[in-house]
């Protein structure tokens, strides 16, 4: 078989779920991170995405272990810096599908400035905020999205401030183009929202409201027991939920994702918690297009650039010393 035909066949072959799985997740049993990982891996399989065309970037936190469990390109960055790293990846390799997995502390606290400007740049990437409302990796400290009154290791008498709402913040930034929300206990919604975000061209911000079974085990019990406390957002230009899910969650509302003013009103609601696409605008330009990132750099260009940088620090054997010692 000719080499070209072999390559075409390789690209067109279906990828099973195992092609995207790497290692055994070490998250706690019942952690919402597991639900997000399952949804993303299923999305990659269903879209038949080539693993070498995927890049997952994260910062620091429980959710930031995500790249370790994807058999793709991955970058486990430092605290709060996932977004600028992902932006650099997208500028250098616009052909890659870039995903960012970040937590409520990683994104909304130390990484808050990067978060706001990433929305403004509107680069084509899928950003998933794993919001469990507490610092889990460092063992229960209050985060920006922790509810007022939460007793933690840093607020033993209860958190003093009202929680930050990542949805309303995102919807208030210039050039916002996609905002959605799901809850980890409805797997169908998690998958549907992330899939819609992936197909949107621009900065797709998805907040996953999720449970922390270790430090906030009962926080969402009322929502789990009462389906009326969940509001499904439906629209022809949004998400259509299955009949089975509609039979359970009867509290549904038609919402046009192009209506940003109504989106901000819905985003402010906690009870019931909205699930679905809040806002979408396909007309916002992407920064990599404005800057004409263009085609990926060739191997020769990459090699030449690396050698030029390394040569700056190279001491050649024939070099004359700057100062002779008598």
In this prediction, residue 10 has a pLDDT band, given cuts at 50, 70 and 90, of low
Among 54, 47, 61, which residue's Cα sits nearest to residue 22? Answer: 54
Query: Rounded CA gap, 159 and 162, in Å?
Result: 8
- pLDDT for res 11: 56
Query: Rounded CA gap, 98 and 86, in Å?
Result: 7
In this prediction, residue 325 has a pLDDT band, given cuts at 50, 70 and 90, of low
Least confident of 5-9, 130-134, 256-260, 279-283: 5-9
Torsion of CA 131, 212, 62, 135, to 10 degrees: 70
What per-residue string of b and e applies to 49-77 under the rule 16 or more CB within 10 Å gives b? beeeebbbbbbbbbbbbbbebbbbbbbbb
Q: Which two tokens stand for residue 312?
A: 């700056």
Question: Tens digits of per-residue pLDDT, 291-300?
Answer: 887 677 778 8
């Amino acid at each position: 078989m000719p080499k070209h035909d072999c390559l075409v066949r390789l690209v067109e072959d279906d990828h099973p779920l195992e092609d995207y799985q790497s290692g055994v997740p070490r998250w706690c049993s019942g952690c919402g991170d597991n639900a997000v990982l399952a949804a993303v891996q299923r999305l990659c399989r269903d879209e038949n995405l080539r693993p070498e065309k995927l890049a997952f970037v994260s910062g620091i936190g429980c959710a930031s272990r995500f790249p370790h469990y994807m058999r793709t390109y991955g970058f486990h960055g430092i605290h709060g810096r996932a977004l600028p790293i992902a932006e650099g990846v997208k500028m250098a390799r616009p052909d890659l599908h870039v995903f960012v997995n970040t937590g409520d502390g990683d994104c909304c606290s130390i990484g808050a400035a990067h978060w706001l400007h990433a929305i403004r740049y509107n680069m084509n990437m899928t950003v998933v905020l794993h919001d469990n409302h507490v610092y889990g990796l460092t063992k229960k400290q209050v985060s920006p999205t922790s509810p007022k009154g939460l007793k933690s290791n840093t607020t033993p008498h209860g958190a003093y401030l009202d929680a930050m709402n990542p949805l309303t913040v995102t919807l208030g930034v210039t050039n916002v183009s996609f905002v959605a929300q799901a809850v980890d206990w409805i797997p169908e919604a998690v998958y549907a929202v992330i899939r819609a975000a992936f197909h949107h061209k621009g900065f797709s911000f998805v907040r996953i409201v999720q449970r922390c079974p270790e430090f906030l085990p009962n926080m969402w019990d009322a929502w789990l027991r009462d389906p009326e406390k969940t509001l499904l957002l439906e629209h022809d230009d949004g998400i259509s939920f299955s009949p089975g899910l509609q039979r359970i969650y009867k509290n549904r509302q038609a919402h046009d994702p192009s209506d940003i003013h109504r989106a901000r009103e819905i985003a402010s609601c906690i009870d019931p918690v909205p699930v679905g696409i809040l806002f979408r605008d396909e007309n916002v330009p992407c920064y990599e297009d404005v800057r004409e990132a263009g085609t990926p750099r060739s191997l020769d260009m990459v090699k030449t650039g690396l050698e030029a940088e390394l040569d700056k620090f190279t001491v050649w054997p024939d070099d004359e010393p700057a100062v002779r010692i008598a």
